[in-house]
């Protein structure tokens, strides 16, 4: 199930000694993490342990207090505005509840990044948006619905279609399966897996869901005690936890069940 | 995964040199035609790609069952947009009669083609052509229906609130006293300064204008009577209630609406707490108490503004101003103004809370209802005022 990483796989993101604090409260410090091209990387950790903050730092939504983040070897702190826009256009972000613009239809939502970053002829933009809609498994008649008329699972799919609008190299997913029923969560996992393989995506996923970790993650990075304590394949971590939190997480009842079902 | 590597170096400006422009090359081959595809077929270059394809469409002549090979060996990188356009082009050429085949495609690109041809790209059009007249009639009908619904719902809300208040008289310990005081502070006390200011200014303006006009008849002394009647009967009440409709009515809608959006109101119902009792009644009662007080302050400030101008333009001191007011303006004008205030307060409160309860899931819906709340409240306040004016005047009060 776990895809072999190519030995030559290139680093897309390199995080070094990253530090973030709110006032006197340190969220994480000395955090090191690499994201390789073409992998599905899962980030797990305690609730309130800074996983989402890390995701927001990587996307430039939150300022970090120290350390560095590099995309393709370039430190984002030293990038020009133009390069940063390139990076933004080349990465997609799926928020927890989709974060679709409620005043726009699903189709218009998907077209927002296309309008913002590049100019496309209207007919091609429409065709492309319908294609993305089909790729994430939404029916064509959902195109003209407003986000409030969709179910939670459909909103997530629409959010993913918007994240994929510009064919990003990397997508960031914030708790993609939270709030979905097991069937829906499993379908969403498989969708991510399929798209990752066919489109050659790199997926950076913050998650709690043990099932999706074992189903689709190539590697897992564990954020505990304010830094990344271990990274490795999920089975490896489960077999040899080496850290009390990892042990509690993978070797609890739910962790065992998820491994066995695999 | 090899696909991901393509073009990844083109991410930054200084590596831009490695990006090659997408191009098409049409040539004759042994058994038909050869179409070579070059460059980066990516979403960022779609405009150029579309131009190339357009050129090609003009360039290809009659097909006549000719074989066409689409050679992908020159392609640098391909994403879903590029692949989609290549498939579209192939479809178009097939429709023209060519027997089109794709050759020399890389493995990753084949997967992409397969993925895209698997998913339909059907469009659903929402634009229905309708005549303008029909639209006009439909809009008119919808408006009439929604006005009818408003009347019914406002009446129902008045009934519901009355029932609730009667229930609270029997069981007064259930009344949310803290909430009442809170809303009185926000809707009443905190509005004192702004209402004082606008009433003072408007009072001054009325006085100034009436002195100017009445001076022609040497009757400027009567402008004090005029200001007294106008301010106490109409201006004080109207200014105050329009200000409160914009300020507190909108706040009520937004507060209740955002609770409604996050299902907090449903949660209250599920916990057996009546939203009418906890959210609506304290707000309406707070307005019923606060608005008369604010109106009184507004009235006084209107007169104060007038007194200031009277002193400045006619050199009438405060004592003479008050004496003239006492002689010329009957106290009933003050009562006429004040009697309206509780009714106005109920209208603003009912409309504000009702619109809040109508908010549905989206942020846009909240905006729509806040706007509707202010517009309807001000409209109804003015209607009510006109009705009072006509009724009381015809009764000779």
Q: Mutation test of the interface with chain A: which of B40, B57, B257, B362, choosing the one with the most A Cβ atoms within 10 A?
A: B362
Percent of chain B with pLDDT over 90: 57
Reported as a pLDDT band with limits 50, 70 and 90, residue B128 is low
Q: Distance between CA B287 and CA B309 in Å, rounded?
A: 32
Regarding whether B278 and B210 lie in a shared domain, the answer is yes
Q: Is the pLDDT of residue B4 over 60?
A: no
Regarding whether B77 and B113 lie in a shared domain, the answer is yes
Which comes out higher in pLDDT, residue B269 or B10?
Answer: B269
Regarding whether B152 and B84 lie in a shared domain, the answer is no
Regarding whether B72 and B212 lie in a shared domain, the answer is no
Kindly state the average pLDDT of the residues A150-173.
88
Which comes out higher in pLDDT, residue B12 or B151?
Answer: B151
Residue of B nearest to A149 (CA): B361
pLDDT in tens, A93-137: 888 877 888 888 899 999 888 888 787 888 888 888 898 888 888
Cβ–Cβ gap B85/A124 under 8 Å = yes
A194 contacts: CB under 8 Å, gap ≥ 6: none
Q: The tokens 């460059």 sit on which residue?
A: B39
Reported as a pLDDT band with limits 50, 70 and 90, residue B48 is confident
Regarding whether B153 and B93 lie in a shared domain, the answer is no
Regarding whether B224 and B168 lie in a shared domain, the answer is yes
Regarding whether B165 and B71 lie in a shared domain, the answer is no
Regarding whether B341 and B262 lie in a shared domain, the answer is yes
Neighbours of B44 (CB within 10 A): 22
Which comes out higher in pLDDT, residue A9 or A92?
Answer: A92
User: Which residues does chain B have within 8 Å of residue A169's beta carbon, measured at their own beta carbons?
Assistant: 4, 8, 11
Pairs across A and B, CB distance < 8 A:
118
Kindly state the average pLDDT of the residues B146-158.
93
Q: Where are the alpha helices (DSSP H) in A69-151?
A: 81-89, 106-117, 122-135
Cβ–Cβ gap A128/B43 under 8 Å = yes
Q: What is the structure's pLDDT at B63?
A: 57
Whether B59 is in a domain gets the answer yes
| Beta-strand relationship, A66-71 and A74-75 | antiparallel
Whether B129 is in a domain gets the answer no
Regarding whether B307 and B258 lie in a shared domain, the answer is yes
- Alpha-carbon distance A226 to nearest alpha carbon in chain B (angstroms): 32
Whether pTM exceeds 0.80: no
| Beta-strand relationship, B23-29 and B32-41 | antiparallel
Q: What is the structure's pLDDT at A242?
A: 84
Q: Is the pLDDT of residue B387 over 90?
A: yes
Last residue of a domain, which of B100, B117, B134? B117
Cβ–Cβ gap B362/A103 under 8 Å = yes
| Structure tokens, A132 | 């993305």
Regarding whether B256 and B198 lie in a shared domain, the answer is yes
Nearest to A134 among B42, B112, B120 (CB): B120
Q: Is the pLDDT of residue A2 over 70?
A: no
Q: Mutation test of the interface with chain A: which of B2, B3, B8, B363, choosing the one with the most A Cβ atoms within 10 A?
A: B8
Kindly state the average pLDDT of the residues B120-135.
75
Provide the b/e sequence for A111-129 (b: ≥16 CB within 10 Å).
bebbeebbebeeebbbbbb
B291 and B341 in contact (C-beta within 8 Å)?
Answer: yes
User: Which domain covers residue B304, as residue numbers?
Assistant: 142-394
Kindly state the average pLDDT of the residues A224-251.
86
- Alpha-carbon distance A135 to nearest alpha carbon in chain B (angstroms): 7
Cβ–Cβ gap A128/B81 under 8 Å = yes
Q: The tokens 């709690």 sit on which residue?
A: A208
CA neighbor of A173 nearest in space, from A257, A259, A93 = A93
Whether B88 is in a domain gets the answer yes
Cβ–Cβ gap A200/B13 under 8 Å = no
Q: Mutation test of the interface with chain A: which of B81, B117, B120, B126, choosing the one with the most A Cβ atoms within 10 A?
A: B81
User: Which residues does chain A have within 8 Å of residue B86's beta carbon, measured at their own beta carbons?
Assistant: none
Q: Distance between CA B33 and CA B339 in Å, rounded?
A: 91
- Alpha-carbon distance B195 to nearest alpha carbon in chain A (angstroms): 35
CATH number at residue B106: 3.30.750.24
Whether B122 is in a domain gets the answer no
Q: What is the structure's pLDDT at B9?
A: 39
Which ipTM value was assigned to this complex?
0.77
Nearest to B80 among A102, A147, A199 (CB): A199
Q: At how many degrees (to 10) do helices A106-117 and A152-163 cross? A: 20
Q: Distance between CA A213 and CA A33 in Å, rounded?
A: 18
A232 and A205 in contact (C-beta within 8 Å)?
Answer: no
Reported as a pLDDT band with limits 50, 70 and 90, residue A11 is confident
- Judged by DSSP in three states, A19 sits in strand
Q: Is the pLDDT of residue B5 over 80?
A: no
Q: Mutation test of the interface with chain A: which of B2, B16, B46, choosing the one with the most A Cβ atoms within 10 A?
A: B46
Residue of A nearest to B367 (CA): A103
Number of domains making up chain B:
2
- Alpha-carbon distance A169 to nearest alpha carbon in chain B (angstroms): 7
Cβ–Cβ gap A83/B12 under 8 Å = yes
B348 and B249 in contact (C-beta within 8 Å)?
Answer: yes
Kindly state the average pLDDT of the residues B315-325.
93
CA neighbor of A135 nearest in space, from B91, B120, B84, B78 = B120
pLDDT in tens, B182-221: 999 999 999 999 999 999 999 999 999 999 999 999 998 8
Cβ–Cβ gap A83/B112 under 8 Å = no
Cβ–Cβ gap B361/A148 under 8 Å = yes
Q: Is the pLDDT of residue A84 over 70?
A: yes
Whether B44 is in a domain gets the answer yes
Whether B7 is in a domain gets the answer no
């Amino acid at each position: 199930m776990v895809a072999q990483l190519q030995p030559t796989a290139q680093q897309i993101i390199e995080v070094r000694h990253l530090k973030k604090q709110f006032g006197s409260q340190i969220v994480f410090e000395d955090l090191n993490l690499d994201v390789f091209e073409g992998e599905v990387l899962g980030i797990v950790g305690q609730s309130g342990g800074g996983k989402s903050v890390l995701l927001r730092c990587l996307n430039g939504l939150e300022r970090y207090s120290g350390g560095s983040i590099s995309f393709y070897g370039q430190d984002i702190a030293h990038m020009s505005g133009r390069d940063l826009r390139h990076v933004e256009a080349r990465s997609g972000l799926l928020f927890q509840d989709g974060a679709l613009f409620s005043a726009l239809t699903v189709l218009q939502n998907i077209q927002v990044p296309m309008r913002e970053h590049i100019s496309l002829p209207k007919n091609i933009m429409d065709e492309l948006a319908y294609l993305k809609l089909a790729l994430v498994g939404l029916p064509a008649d959902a195109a003209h619905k407003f986000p409030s008329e969709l179910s939670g699972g459909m909103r997530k799919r629409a959010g993913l279609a918007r994240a994929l609008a510009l064919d990003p190299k990397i997508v960031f997913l914030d708790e993609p399966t939270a709030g979905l029923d097991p069937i829906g969560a499993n379908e969403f996992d498989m969708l991510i897996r399929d798209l990752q393989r066919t489109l050659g995506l790199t997926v950076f996923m913050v998650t709690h869901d043990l099932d999706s970790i074992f189903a689709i993650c190539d590697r897992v990075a564990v954020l505990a005690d304010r830094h990344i304590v271990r990274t490795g394949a999920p089975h490896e971590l489960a077999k040899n936890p080496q850290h009390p939190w990892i042990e509690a997480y993978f070797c609890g009842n739910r962790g065992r069940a998820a491994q066995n079902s695999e | 995964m090899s696909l991901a590597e393509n073009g990844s170096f083109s991410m930054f400006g200084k590596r831009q040199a490695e990006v090659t422009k997408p191009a098409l090359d049409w040539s004759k081959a042994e058994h038909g035609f050869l179409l070579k595809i070059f460059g980066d077929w990516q979403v960022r270059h779609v405009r150029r790609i579309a131009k190339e394809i357009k050129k090609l469409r003009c360039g290809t002549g009659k097909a006549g069952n000719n074989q066409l090979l689409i050679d992908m060996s020159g392609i640098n990188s391909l994403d879903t947009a590029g692949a989609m356009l290549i498939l579209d082009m192939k479809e178009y050429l097939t429709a023209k009669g060519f027997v089109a085949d794709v050759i020399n495609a890389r493995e990753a690109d084949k997967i992409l083609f397969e993925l895209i041809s698997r998913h339909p790209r059907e469009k659903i059009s929402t634009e229905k052509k309708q005549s303008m007249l029909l639209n006009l009639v439909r809009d008119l009908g919808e408006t009439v229906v929604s006005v009818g619904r408003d009347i019914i719902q406002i009446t129902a809300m008045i009934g519901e609130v009355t029932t609730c208040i009667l229930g609270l008289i029997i069981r007064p310990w259930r009344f949310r006293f803290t909430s009442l005081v809170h809303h009185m502070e926000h809707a009443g006390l905190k509005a004192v300064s702004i209402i004082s200011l606008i009433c003072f200014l408007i009072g001054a303006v009325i006085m100034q204008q009436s002195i100017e006009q009445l001076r022609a008849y040497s009757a400027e002394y009567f402008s004090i009577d005029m200001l007294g009647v106008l301010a106490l009967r109409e201006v004080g009440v109207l200014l105050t209630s329009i200000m409160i409709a914009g300020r507190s009515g909108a706040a009520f809608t937004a507060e209740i609406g955002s609770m409604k959006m996050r299902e907090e109101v449903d949660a209250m119902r599920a916990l057996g707490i009546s939203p009418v009792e906890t959210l609506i009644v304290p707000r309406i009662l707070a307005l019923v108490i606060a608005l008369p007080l604010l109106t009184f302050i507004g009235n006084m400030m209107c007169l104060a503004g007038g007194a200031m101008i009277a002193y400045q333009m006619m050199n009438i001191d405060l004592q003479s101003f008050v004496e003239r007011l006492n002689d010329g303006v009957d106290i009933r004008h003050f009562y006429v103004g004040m009697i309206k205030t509780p009714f106005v307060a109920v209208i603003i409160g009912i409309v504000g809370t009702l619109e809040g309860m109508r908010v549905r899931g989206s942020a846009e819906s909240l905006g729509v209802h806040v706007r509707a709340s202010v517009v309807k409240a001000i409209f109804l306040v003015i209607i009510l005022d006109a009705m009072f004016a006509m009724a009381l005047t015809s009764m000779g009060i």
